[in-house]
Amino acid sequence: MKQFVLAKLRSIKAPADVLGAVERSEMNDVLVAPLRYRPPLSLLFASISKRNVCVAGDALHPTTPDLAQGACVVLEDAVVLARCLGDAIVGKERESVEAALRRYAGIRRWRSAQVIAASYMVGLVQQSDHAVVRFARDRLLSGMLAKGLLMMPD
C-alpha cells in the first residue's frame, strides 16, 4: 500500500515533504475498510441512539458529493441535536440526555432516510449502462433531479 501511494505521489510530482511523511509512516497507519450500503428502510426501523450515545453526520446519512447535501445535512443535525440537548439540560422539559438523544433520533430519521435514498438513486442512475436508463438520464431526469435537489434544502 505504501509503495502504491508513493508511486502515485511521485507521478504527480508531489513535494518532497509529502513524500517524506508517507515514507516515514508505518503500514498500521493505513486503514482500509470496504464501503457499505445502508438501505434507507433499515434506518427507519433501526435505533440510532443507545443510552448516552447517538449516531450523527456521515455515519448516520452518508451521501454522494454530487447531491451537495453533506455539509448542509450535518449542520441540520447539529442544530437539532443542540436544541434537543439544550431542552434536556436547561429547558422546561428537564428530560434526561438519553431521552433527548432518542428525540433527536426520531426527528432526524426521515430526513436521513431521504438523503440516503436520493444518494443511492442518483448513483444507480449515473452508473447504469442500460440503454433505456441512459436515455432517461441524459434526456429527462437531469431537469427533474436538479429541481428536486434545489427543493431539498427547504
- Among 110, 126, 111, 119, smallest CA distance to 62 is for 119
Q: What local confidence, expressed as pLDDT, does residue 67 receive? A: 67
Query: pTM for the whole thing?
Result: 0.59
Comparing 2-6, 50-54, 129-133, 139-143, the range with the smallest average pLDDT is 139-143
* pLDDT for residue 15 is more than 80: yes
Q: What is the pLDDT of residues 43-80, one digit of tens each?
A: 777 778 888 888 877 777 777 776 667 678 888 888 98
Where would I find the beta strands (DSSP E) of the chain? 49-50, 53-54
Quote the cell numbers at residue 121.
Answer: 438513486
Dihedral of CA 65/66/69/71: which sign? positive
pLDDT one-digit tens code per residue, 16-47 = 998 898 888 876 655 666 666 667 777 777 77
